[in-house]
Amino acid sequence: MIRRPDAIRGATIVGTGMYVPDRVLTNADFERMVETSDEWIRERTGIVERRIARPDQASSDLALIAAQHALESAGLTAADLDQIIVATTTPDRILPSCACTLQAKIGAVNAAAYDVFAACTGFIYGLGLARGVIGTGIADTVLLVGVEMLSRIVDYTDRNTCVLFGDGAGAAVLRPCGPEDGILAVSIHSDGVLGDLLEVPAGGSLRPASAETVRDRDHFIKMRGRELFKVAVRGMEDSLRQALDRAGLSVGDLDLVIPHQANQRIIDATRERLGVPADKVILNIARFGNTSSASIPISLDEVQRQGRLKPGDHVGFVAFGGGATWGATVTRWTMPAPRRSQPVAAPGAEAEPQAAAPSPVRGTGS
């Protein structure tokens, strides 16, 4: 017999998790690596430090820990998963997908698994996908992970980019809910004409790896920061307004906004244009830098564990990233707050001792 859902179902987040590596790279470390200063980095970006993975870790290792925490908080096991969606720009390998590697590591024997390449907007795109497959009955239980190891594609001789990025993973488990709850609206966009504002020029089918591409440092991120800044603010404002409109809500209905942590000034400018009070906007860029697709689920897990969300709250997620891609979702929160809130790490709180001599973090074996 053909099985069809009776109606489009809602999809809601029932578990959250995060993981960031222990190793901390501070602004002071960068002062010894490139011509920059702690003052410049703080003023222009809001970043104080970022986490850097160990050489023996890959994206799927970070994703695994975040995913295990999310499953635990949902009270589910890996065998319950129907789909695994991994949003990443830094998969372990181009083939197989990071999601398939994670599927094997976590033991999700019943799950389909695939990656979403939408750069910093990846988690928002993934929420749209998860809502679609749950809403139409294709899947009941979806694990969505945003994970990045940007330290592997950052040029630590380029001061324009190296100070911005960090490594980390955040995860959410989604399940069906009533149509009035969970993800109420999704607004996602792209403009490939803006592709070269943020790119890794080589390593794909256009320019496969060669001695020349390695020599020219073309496997690293290249960015036109000033131009990105302007389009990011406009895209984030527009997409959040559109998602609110689709949900039949207005800016004043939002209890919390979790923006992609690209740059504190981008977040502040977006917040001001939207007219959202500062205390409703989550900021943790000081501690983690820009972790691309991981930044929203990392922030989400922190606020959930702090007890800052309660059922019925309206939460806006909004992001902009390479591609260009941008988008927003509006969610009516359904997870209960934890019985006791859990503290989050202050800058430097979990820092491992730093090596006396500054060195690029990649390939040092430390």
Q: Which residues bind ligand COA (CB under 6 A)?
A: 36, 40-41, 44-45, 120, 159-160, 163, 198, 223, 225-226, 228-229, 262-263, 266, 290, 320-321
The whole-angstrom separation of Cα 280 and Cα 287 is 19
> Active site includes 219?
no
CB 180 within 8 A of CB 81: no
> Active site includes 314?
no
Marked catalytic residue, from 162, 260, 263, 314? 260
CB 319 within 8 A of CB 236: yes
> Active site includes 160?
no
Please report how many Cα atoms fall inside a 13 Å half-sphere around the Cα of residue 88, on the Cβ side: 34
SS (HEC) of 37-64: CHHHHHHHHCCCEEECCCCCCCHHHHHH
Which residue lies nearer to ligand COA by CB, 42 or 308? Answer: 42
Which residue lies nearer to ligand COA by CB, 103 or 161? Answer: 161
Please report how many Cα atoms fall inside a 13 Å half-sphere around the Cα of residue 240, on the Cβ side: 29
Marked catalytic residue, from 120, 263, 284, 314? 120
Minimum CB–partner distance for residue 89 and ligand COA (Å): 10
Minimum CB–partner distance for residue 104 and ligand COA (Å): 30
Minimum CB–partner distance for residue 119 and ligand COA (Å): 7
Minimum CB–partner distance for residue 128 and ligand COA (Å): 18
Q: How far apart, in Å, are the Cα atoms of 191 and each of 201, 261, 267, 323?
A: 18, 21, 21, 7
The whole-angstrom separation of Cα 24 and Cα 27 is 10
Structure tokens belonging to residue 125: 């795109």
Marked catalytic residue, from 98, 263, 290, 314? 290
Which residue lies nearer to ligand COA by CB, 199 or 253? Answer: 199
Minimum CB–partner distance for residue 265 and ligand COA (Å): 7
Closest CA to 229 of 192, 265, 273, 189: 265
Annotated catalytic sites, by residue?
120, 260, 290
